Structure 1
Amino acid sequence: MAFGPCRPPSSLLAALLTLTLAGGLVPTAATAAAPRTPGQSTGHAAAPAAPAAGEHWTVDLAVAGGDDVNVRFGAGRLRLADPHPTRRTRPAALGAPIAEGVLLAPARTLAGPANRVRVDLTAEAATGATVGVQVRGWRATGWTEWREAGTGPAVFDRPVTRVQARVLLTTRDAHAAASVRAVRLTADSTTAATPAPTAARSYRVFATREGEVGGVTANGRTIQPRDHFVALPSRRGLSPIDTGDYTVRVCTTSGSRCEYAPVWDVGPWNTRDDYWNPAAVRENWKDLPQGRPEAQAAYQYGYNGGKDQFGRTVLNPAGIDLADGTFWDGLLLTDNAWVDVTYLWTGGGPRGVIGSGPLNVRTGPGTSYPVRGLAATHANVPVQCYVTGQTVTGTYRTTNRWNRLAGGQYVSHAYVSTVYGGTVSRC
């Protein structure tokens, strides 16, 4: 979904930005080499922990490879590689008048569980440019959402054993520079409520077809014809490239077709609208009902003057964008439509990682059963239990095991690369 550019502000007044976020400390330990887990990106090598009270580490700002998007490192600073807003420097689903870049640090294994991360950031940002740091934590059931750690510590709802950070630079003006000199993190613990596990949240929202083949997603993927992913209007649920850490189940309102697809882009319309979260967690527009996208409220009710966060007039109520393969092949849609979306990372239970797809989702444990949708490559699908059925030779094994998903639907285990988050029992 593309939109015309807005004219960016022209002020070039720069200011040195240094953020130091206070918090308690825990005993430190040397950096542990974390194995790659489902959905974990390799990022860059982290510096060894400092031999001081508290577990501290610094982010290596050198740009190392495919996990990073539109950033470069030189003369001791991380900068945007191209500050001009084009199809290759802004989220493809967004079409907003901004250029952005992201550096993804490696996941660090902590010496002990922690639930709070503080960031000391040394950066420069001219008027019209921004610099920020987001962090997330790994627990047995998967990754938490990304949380901002720029105006205060990021606190997770339960202890985590690994922490990953990403640095985000944006500008609305190609002449408004943003650069980062240093990022230092500290993990510790504080009192926090641990909510009981709940079912994943689901909402009915309006879906648009993203298209934009040849454009670049917010996580750095060049969009392919009939690609399989979705875009949501918040970076909090944005998966690193070639992972399905944040996966949705999107279905037609009749329930006749569904696709499990990773979140690989940001948009439509907004970048800070995690509308699936309750008001206490939601980043912006906390007065809206949970599950209602800001774009929907703007379009239907004139909320925010009918504008998005960039001041553009909202032309449709979209809360999700679908890549062409998801739109045409997964859901068999011919036009933009209302859909039912389940934000799977908000729930718990075992997950199977689809290593080879798009994989047919069937009504029974065999290839003779009707197809009711697809599971995209890298999608993390909740597995309720398994049954034995037709023997299938797939990418990873030959097996008669079929995993039962929501709604009594099945995928062959022959194409599942790994299972995490719990034990899968026989149905």
Structure 2
Amino acid sequence: MRITRRAQLTACLAATLAIFTTTLQSTAAPTDPVPVAAHPVAGSSNVKVEGSRIILGNAPAAIGSSEIEQRSGSAELVPVRFAAATSAVVVSYAAGTPDGSSAEIYVRAWAKDKWTEWTPAKAGTPTALPAAGDRVQLRIIVSAPPAGGSPWVGDVQVQPTDRADPSRMSVQAAPLKSRVFATREGLVGGTTANGHVIVNRDHFVALPSRRGLSAKGTGTYSVKVCTASRCAFEPVWDVGPWNTKDDYWNPSAIREMWKDLPQGRPEAQAAYQDGYNGGKDQFGRTVANPAGIDLADGTFWDALALTNNAWVDVTYLWTGDGGRGTVSITSGYLNVRNSPNSAGAVVGMAGKSAQATVECQTTGSSVTGSQGTSNVWLRVHPGMYVAKAYVAAGTFAAC
């Protein structure tokens, strides 16, 4: 059968109209709630899906850096894109928390080509984001005592809003750096808050808040930890020491607890040194040291060459802008050297998936790694370099 030109145009127009109509039907208005599918993405741990619900999985209770024994699960959901950038959202959901269990939701935004810090979101309450973005992601945390029922979260929706207090947005050009007391975590064979099983001479750190917790196997939230002569770049994979809601690197306006303490001062340090909160942590335990960060054994012994707990300088890399690179190795660590040369002295280490600051780049000895063969070296701290052959990064100004 011969098809006329008019018939072809009519069919094409009908098809185009059908596609356009479908698109309109599947796109929510800018302020409408958007259902969030119960589809955990890579990095989630110890959760299961039943219909629209995310439920705590069956893994046994574990003791992490916070030394609180509990069953815990984490689910990062597929990101949601809005029609326009928003500086705040309202999250709504249903939850079941039997037998003293808990269920929490955190939200973050994609802004300036990176994810912001996770922010706790109360159901039905406007939540200010650290920076405005047109894409947000939700993280569900479900926790329970060693025995008892399993908490769940379901029917999750998120919508943009302009009703949140803009003063709660965190705008900071340079990452915060503070001097805190570091302790060794150990706990080889245990499970961290993001589901990572701790191995011998491991490389990661713990901070006392989930707001800066990276998903398992990633380094979205990483720190630079330095002594007088050495530095380590490590992902945040556990929660502790002492507290679990002490994001002390944040200003008072957005700090989750202990808002009367100055930015950069851990609650455990104030409790130990000054008797703050009666010398107790958030769980009522007497604080026995001023620790603000826990270091895995490889970070403690090998990267920083520590022999005892010590004061260190910590930079919370996600809290500011600046050049970054991602350590791209399958296991272990990347050596940080005192010159752009494979023969340079080792003055630190960078763990798998960690973010590392990049000040500039220079040329040195040729190295073959995960990113190919290159003679480019990145300066990650004054007098400290890593081979770009093992770091996923762009091009930087010459040193």
Superposition TM-score tier, normalisation by shorter sequence: 0.7 to 0.9
- Give yes or no for contact 2:130–2:171 (8 Å, CA) kept in 1: no
* Per-residue deviation, residues 15-44 of structure 1 (Å, max 9, x unmatched): xxxxxxxxxxxxxx979xxxxxxxxxxxxx
Take 2:194 and 2:104, find their aligned partners in 1: how far apart are those partners? 16
Within the candidate set 72, 77, 101, 1:105 is matched to 77
In structure 2, do the counterparts of structure 1 residues 273 and 389 end up closer, same or farther at CA, with 3 Å as the change threshold?
same
* Per-residue deviation, residues 365-395 of structure 1 (Å, max 9, x unmatched): 1122222101111111121111112221122
What is the 5 A alignment of 1:60-209? 60-61=37-38, 67-74=43-50, 77-82=53-58, 86-87=61-62, 92-126=64-98, 128-150=100-122, 152-172=125-145, 174-175=147-148, 177-188=150-161, 192=166, 197-209=172-184
What is the CA distance between 1:149 and its match in structure 2?
Answer: 1.1
Matching residue of 1:25: none
In structure 2, do the counterparts of structure 1 residues 109 and 383 end up closer, same or farther at CA, with 3 Å as the change threshold?
farther
- Give yes or no for contact 2:117–2:130 (8 Å, CA) kept in 1: no
- Give yes or no for contact 1:216–1:222 (8 Å, CA) kept in 2: yes
In structure 2, do the counterparts of structure 1 residues 189 and 399 end up closer, same or farther at CA, with 3 Å as the change threshold?
farther
* Per-residue deviation, residues 84-134 of structure 1 (Å, max 9, x unmatched): 6x22xx5x1112143322111123344332221210111122362222110
Take 1:314 and 1:196, find their aligned partners in 2: how far apart are those partners? 32
In structure 2, do the counterparts of structure 1 residues 196 and 232 end up closer, same or farther at CA, with 3 Å as the change threshold?
closer
Q: In the alignment, residue 412 of structure 1 is paired with which amino acid?
A: A
Matching residue of 1:59: 36
Q: In the alignment, residue 209 of structure 1 is paired with which amino acid?
A: R
In structure 2, do the counterparts of structure 1 residues 280 and 192 end up closer, same or farther at CA, with 3 Å as the change threshold?
closer
Query: Is residue 387 of structure 1 aligned with residue 362 of structure 2?
Result: yes
Please list every run of 5 or more consecutive structure 2 residues that lacks an aligned counterpart in the other structure. 1-21
* Per-residue deviation, residues 129-151 of structure 1 (Å, max 9, x unmatched): 22211011112252211001115
- Give yes or no for contact 1:50–1:56 (8 Å, CA) kept in 2: no
In structure 2, do the counterparts of structure 1 residues 325 and 386 end up closer, same or farther at CA, with 3 Å as the change threshold?
same
What is the CA distance between 1:176 and its match in structure 2?
Answer: 5.0
What is the 5 A alignment of 1:232-311? 232-252=207-227, 255-311=228-284
Take 1:241 and 1:30, find their aligned partners in 2: how far apart are those partners? 35
In structure 2, do the counterparts of structure 1 residues 186 and 195 end up closer, same or farther at CA, with 3 Å as the change threshold?
closer
Take 2:70 and 2:351, find their aligned partners in 1: how far apart are those partners? 29
Take 2:224 and 2:47, find their aligned partners in 1: how far apart are those partners? 32
In structure 2, do the counterparts of structure 1 residues 53 and 374 end up closer, same or farther at CA, with 3 Å as the change threshold?
closer
Take 2:76 and 2:26, find their aligned partners in 1: how far apart are those partners? 19
Which moves more between the two structures, 355-364 or 265-274? 355-364
TM superposition score normalised by structure 1: 0.81
Which moves more between the two structures, 294-303 or 344-353? 294-303
In structure 2, do the counterparts of structure 1 residues 189 and 316 end up closer, same or farther at CA, with 3 Å as the change threshold?
same
- Give yes or no for contact 2:36–2:156 (8 Å, CA) kept in 1: yes
Matching residue of 2:12: none
Within the candidate set 308, 313, 317, 1:340 is matched to 313
Higher helix share: 2
Q: In the alignment, residue 69 of structure 1 is paired with which amino acid?
A: S
Matching residue of 2:17: none
What is the CA distance between 1:218 and its match in structure 2?
Answer: 0.9
What is the CA distance between 1:59 and its match in structure 2?
Answer: 2.7
Q: Specify the SS of the correspondent of 2:370.
A: coil
Q: Count residues with an aligned counterpart.
A: 373
Which is greater in Rg? 2
What is the CA distance between 1:245 and its match in structure 2?
Answer: 0.7
What is the 5 A alignment of 1:333-412? 333-356=306-329, 358-412=333-387
Take 1:379 and 1:30, find their aligned partners in 2: how far apart are those partners? 39
Take 2:174 and 2:250, find their aligned partners in 1: how far apart are those partners? 13
- Give yes or no for contact 1:83–1:173 (8 Å, CA) kept in 2: no
Take 2:347 and 2:291, find their aligned partners in 1: how far apart are those partners? 24
Q: In the alignment, residue 166 of structure 1 is paired with which amino acid?
A: R
In structure 2, do the counterparts of structure 1 residues 323 and 238 end up closer, same or farther at CA, with 3 Å as the change threshold?
same
TM superposition score normalised by structure 2: 0.86
Take 1:138 and 1:319, find their aligned partners in 2: how far apart are those partners? 28
What is the 5 A alignment of 1:21-40? none
In structure 2, do the counterparts of structure 1 residues 247 and 162 end up closer, same or farther at CA, with 3 Å as the change threshold?
same
Q: Specify the SS of the correspondent of 2:86.
A: strand
- Give yes or no for contact 1:358–1:375 (8 Å, CA) kept in 2: yes
Matching residue of 2:14: none
In structure 2, do the counterparts of structure 1 residues 30 and 210 end up closer, same or farther at CA, with 3 Å as the change threshold?
farther
What is the CA distance between 1:195 and its match in structure 2?
Answer: 7.0
- Give yes or no for contact 2:30–2:160 (8 Å, CA) kept in 1: no
In structure 2, do the counterparts of structure 1 residues 123 and 329 end up closer, same or farther at CA, with 3 Å as the change threshold?
same
* Per-residue deviation, residues 182-223 of structure 1 (Å, max 9, x unmatched): 111113556846776522111111111111111111111111
